[in-house]
Amino acid sequence: MPSESEHNRKPTVRALLVSSQIVLVALAWPAAVRGQCAATIYGGADDPVRVDSNHVMTEGQTWTSDEYGYWTPYVEAWQEFMAPGASSGGPITDGEVADADPGDTAWVELTTILNAQGPGTYWDYGFHWAVANQDYCPGWYDEGFYYDGPGLTISRPTIAGIPAFWWLGSGVLSDHGYYAQSALTANPNGASGTPSWSVQMLETGGVTLQCNVCTDNVATSTSFSCGCYPDVTIWATYGGFESEPFNVTIVKPSTLTLDAGYPQDSNDQDGYLSLYQWSLTDSCGYQDAGLDGNEVFGAWTDDYFNSTGTHNNWGLPTAAQAYSPTNLWTDKIWVEPCANGKPKCTNPQKPTLSTVAVRHNTPWTFYIGTQTFGSGVPVESDTQQNYLDHGRHQ
């Protein structure tokens, strides 16, 4: 027989069923004996417990009202799970059986690793019964009963932040409201501790994180995504329990498209002005207004010398940088005055422009994202060509 302290040790049960399955089949026994053998079988489960960030524990319990030590309680328990949005669940563990001394509680604890199983609702499902000592209570038996315990819903941690930000070139973190960084905050959703952060880069997009173990973080772009879809994934992990993936797209200023009607050639004193106008779009196909830009000339070649043996004496242009409040960008190729030019430039010839090449530089490159020469994102690169009476990008 258990001691009194053992006999009275009962769990704190928040959900309880009482079995009515105890049946007396040997009615010939004296009433006093029948009274000693009569007992009620109890079965239930504590509320599921989140042991730590990555483990949940459920419990199944069986005990009796037996005061004479005639009934041995048994429990078989399974941990069950229902995924978010599902209408029903099922067992995720094998049944585990436990018994206890008469007067004590049969107890099964089941623990699941959350990261492997995932978010959802966890609970205990148990079968509860007891076995009578046939030496003292012959013919008494218990058919047992099933019981579903209360459920505990687990959600993965989440990350809050802007999932699409910019690549503006190496070392350029912002430009007039375009940002190459995103502030991130981890929401534990019931997990404990401080998360560790990790990044997976699937294609060409890349980021660095300001810290590895922290709640608030900053992601900085290091390269642009391959097209307009997320190819960077960030996680915040609490004790092995990963957050929902935070998918990131790194957008960049991408393309200059020559507008209809350009280039335009016009007279500039005794020389010429050739005007180009482009529309800027990004890697997601949207027009980008309100950015800085700059141009860089490439190496110059004296085409006139190569064809005639006489060096040209045209002055070299000065590279420009600017801010555009719209998504339109222009480039002016002009030469004037030409009174003492070698060769002498002319106004644009009509209807047929001259084919005499004077000089060119390559690669001529245009950058977006900063007014610092040679920095930013290159969006156009070609040969800038001066002819006798007009200029061209080609």
Tens of pLDDT along the chain (394 residues)?
222 223 223 333 333 444 333 333 333 444 455 578 989 999 988 889 999 999 999 999 999 999 999 999 999 999 999 999 999 999 999 999 999 999 999 999 999 999 999 999 999 999 999 999 999 999 898 889 999 888 999 999 999 999 999 999 999 999 999 999 999 999 999 999 999 999 999 989 899 999 999 999 999 999 999 999 999 999 999 999 999 999 999 999 999 999 999 999 999 999 999 999 999 999 999 999 999 999 999 999 999 999 999 999 999 999 999 999 999 999 999 998 888 899 999 999 999 999 999 999 999 999 999 999 999 999 999 999 999 999 999 9
**CA pair distance 295, 319, nearest whole angstrom:** 6
Beta partners for 207?
Answer: 221
Q: Which helix (H) or strand (E) holds 140?
A: strand 140-142
CB distance 315 to 307 below 8 Å: no
Nearest to 121 by CA among 153, 150, 90: 153
CB atoms within 10 A of CB 179: 15
Looking at domain 255-393, which of 2.60.40, 1.10.3470, 3.10.450, 3.30.1490 is its CATH number?
Answer: 2.60.40
3-state secondary structure of 114: helix
Rg (CA), the chain: 40
- Spell out the CATH class of 4-154: mainly beta
Domain 158-251 in CATH 2.30.29? The answer is no
**CA pair distance 65, 72, nearest whole angstrom:** 11
Domain residue spans of the chain: 4-154, 158-251, 255-393
CB distance 297 to 233 below 8 Å: no
Q: What pLDDT, on a 0 to 100 scale, did the predictor assign at position 17?
A: 42
Q: Is the pTM of this model over 0.85?
A: no
Asked, colleague to colleague, whether 4-154 and 158-251 share their fold, the answer is yes
Q: What pLDDT, on a 0 to 100 scale, did the predictor assign at position 16?
A: 41
CB atoms within 10 A of CB 5: 7
Buried b (16+ CB within 10 A) or exposed e, 136-167: ebeebbbebbebebebbebebbebebebebbb
